[in-house]
Amino acid sequence: MRVLFLAPSYPPEMIEYCRGLAEVGAEVIGVGDTPRERLPQSVKSYLTDYVAVPRIMDEDDVVARVTAALRGHRVDRVWTNWEPLVILAAKLRERWGIPGMSVDAVRGFRDKELMKERVRAAGLRTPRSARAVTADDVRAAAEHIDYPLIVKPIAGAGSANTYRVGDRAELERVLGMMRGVMEVSVEEYIEGEEFTYDTVCINGRPAFENVAQYLPKPLEARSNEWISPVIITVRDLEQAKIQKGLKLGRSVLRALGMGSGFTHMEWFYTPKGEAVFGEIGCRPGGAHLVDQMNHTADIDLFREWARVAAWDSFEAPTTRNYNCGIVFKRAKGQGRISKIFGLEHWKQRYGRFLVEDQLLRPGSHRRDWKQTLVSDGFLLVRHPDWDAAKEICFAAATDITMFAS
């Protein structure tokens, strides 16, 4: 089995998927715009070949160059787990007649308005929304949908360049901040709790399912630097409200024609008890969500995804043993991390539940919290009891303070 994998070293977690492919017996051909000599040693050992291209985002150029470079060589599958490249992977599959999701199917997971149109057509609840190209389009959509509303890129990932708009004056400020965005979705703001629905699918059927809760909602966390965002995977999927999300998620997969691979969906549970679709990508969740899922069930989803990708098989147990929480920290101040208060006391109380400590240490440069949810590092914890897991996470969020100067 020869697998072409796009961008094998960026983002860095892509190396783990290459490892998985190598461990299940696939030959991995990497394609990326990192020069061969600058590839991390950690990924080189998993690759049997590598094709360097000038610009990985230039889809037509990449298709032409890779087709020429591999002429006469067999390729059985084409994969990527990085959101910006899912259309390119589909184009390569179609060009070479390789099994996998088509360009049309993948666009349903990439274009947020097309996505909602297809989900609505299946009779599922989505936010009211409209596509907008010009500022006047946005204003007209806002008047039709009414405030509060959300404005976000059509092809964005996560909550980057996503804004909650409360009135006309605020809309004008947001329009000024989004001048570089070519096309946006204007949609109804949904009040309620926000969750994920994550899967590894084989031909559209989930072999593994996960639900995690955002605390607080991502948009709020992205808007306030003082917040330490928390995400906790849910051990007990039998709860009534979680079952509503699972039912919604499975229906969305059917409506969009999901094939094989990871999916990452966001959905809302409203005060009225309604599960409402948010958006979905045919790729894994970022910000170490796959690590959380691994620790929830004591499995290796990097390898199990690879088994699906190469052999249409999933062998790991799916029993959920823990609620696994991740707490992202943001330092106060600018420059280098100078001090961390409260960490040792927190570890004395909760250290036995700590899975991973990846906080930046004094001397490290602060990261831009607006560009990466990981911010200035994270703590990963797990506990079989939901309330206990939440207590541990919120203690880390409130009692540990990082400073930079």
Q: For the segment 8-35, what is each residue's pLDDT rounded down to a tens digit?
A: 999 999 999 999 999 999 999 999 999 9
191-321: CATH topology: D-amino Acid Aminotransferase; Chain A, domain 1 (3.30.470)
Please check whether residue 32 is in contact with residue 88, taking contact to mean a CB–CB distance below 8 angstroms.
no
Architecture of domain 128-188: 2-Layer Sandwich (3.30)
DSSP assignment of 65-119 equals HHHHHTTTS---EEE--SGGGHHHHHHHHHHHT-SS--HHHHHHHH-HHHHHHHH
pLDDT in tens, 164-211: 899 998 899 888 888 777 788 899 999 999 999 999 999 999 999 999
pLDDT in tens, 217-258: 998 998 899 999 999 999 999 999 999 999 999 999 999 999
Tokens for 253, please give them.
Answer: 């997969």
Predicted local distance difference test score (pLDDT) of residue 158: 57
2-100: CATH topology: Rossmann fold (3.40.50)
Q: Reply yes or no on whether the pLDDT at 384 is more than 80.
A: yes
Predicted local distance difference test score (pLDDT) of residue 222: 86
pLDDT in tens, 280-308: 999 999 999 999 999 999 999 999 999 99
Percent of residues, the chain, with pLDDT higher than 90: 86
Distances (CA, A) of 36 to 3, 39, 45, 74: 18, 5, 13, 21
Bridge-partner residues for 256, per DSSP? none
Percent of residues, the chain, with pLDDT higher than 70: 99
- With the C-alpha atoms ordered 328, 197, 22, 61, is the resulting torsion angle positive or negative? negative
**Residue 157 binned pLDDT confidence (cut-offs 50, 70, 90):** low
Distances (CA, A) of 187 to 106, 125, 265, 275, 360: 21, 13, 17, 16, 37
DSSP assignment of 23-36 equals HTT-EEEEEESS-G
Domain boundaries along the sequence of the chain: 2-100, 128-188, 191-321, 323-405
Tokens for 96, please give them.
Answer: 């070479």
* The model scores a pTM over 0.85: yes
